[in-house]
Amino acid sequence: MNQQECPITFTLEVIGGKWKPYILHFLAARPLRSGELGRLIPQASGKMLTQQLRELERDAVIRRKVYQQVPPKVEYSLTPHGETLMPILDAMCAWGRQNPPAKAGKVRQRQARMGGD
Amino acid sequence: MNQQECPITFTLEVIGGKWKPYILHFLAARPLRSGELGRLIPQASGKMLTQQLRELERDAVIRRKVYQQVPPKVEYSLTPHGETLMPILDAMCAWGRQNPPAKAGKVRQRQARMGGD
DNA sequence: CAGCATCCCCTAGGATACTG
DNA sequence: CAGTATCCTAGGGGATGCTG
């Protein structure tokens, strides 16, 4: 079985966006407004955020609720389908917690790529 | 807790490359040579494959073994540290298996990459 | 065969300004 | 405040050729 027919491919089509894991992770805690998400993910520009949210919405893992009022208010939340992704997000979260980037210590040589964008 | 201090960030720094989840997934089954990986992941160019392998090696999740012979032979395998990533890969695999892509009509051929580099 | 170096194109994505 | 439309540049990544 190669990459093209590997189930992982389907998964990455949904959560494989630059900011999608974060969005899903934060929405898992509670519904959030655009601005709140922006503040939680400061590295992502508004443009990127909107784009990723649109794709997640198309894939039916998040829901977009518009409050018809002034000023405008939009709230995003996970759909039941989106919640099925939680095991993946939780696993990623757990691993990151147990394997913080090497600083001073015993963990194998890890050359801390601080290449962050 | 925002994105910058979220444990998921650490995880994505390691597995958040375009082809890394596939590489790790395939190496989990058995050690593989460069050529074999290339055949398993036909969408990735040799250049990309090498680059991703280098990063995974630097992060100490895979091992690179060179057989000093002609023709050259290089074999990649997971390190013990790399094996701790399996729960994540397995979760992704399981989800993809249980949630096959939308069927009829549109063919979504989108290969996104994961993670903020 | 493994994989580095080069050239080079294309688009992801940042900054900015505007609408509802 | 939420989102769209433009512009524009950095670098992701493909193709090719050379080395051990």
Q: Is the CB of A34 under 7 A from strand D?
A: yes
Chain D positions with any atom < 7 A from a protein CB: 1-6, 12-16, 20
pLDDT at B44: 94
A83, HSE (Cβ side, Cα atoms, 13 Å): 7
Mean model confidence pLDDT for chain B? 89
Query: What are the tokens at A13?
Result: 């089509």
Torsion angle, alpha carbons of B17, B101, A81, A68, to 10: 90
Supply the DSSP string of A80-110, one letter for each residue: HHHHTTHHHHHHHHHHHHHSPPPSSSSS---
**pLDDT tens digits, residue range A12-24?**
999 999 999 999 9
Domains and CATH numbers, chain B: 3-84 (1.10.10.10)
pLDDT at B4: 85
pLDDT at B115: 60
pTM assigned to the model = 0.88
Assign A105 a pLDDT band (cuts: 50, 70, 90): very low
**pLDDT tens digits, residue range A47-77?**
999 999 999 999 999 999 999 988 899 999 9
Alpha carbon B84 to chain centroid, angstroms: 14
Determine, for residues B84 and A100 on separate chains, whether the beta-carbon distance falls below 8 Å. no
Q: Tell me the percentage of chain B whose pLDDT exceeds 90.
A: 75
Chain C positions with any atom < 7 A from a protein CB: 1-6, 12-16, 20
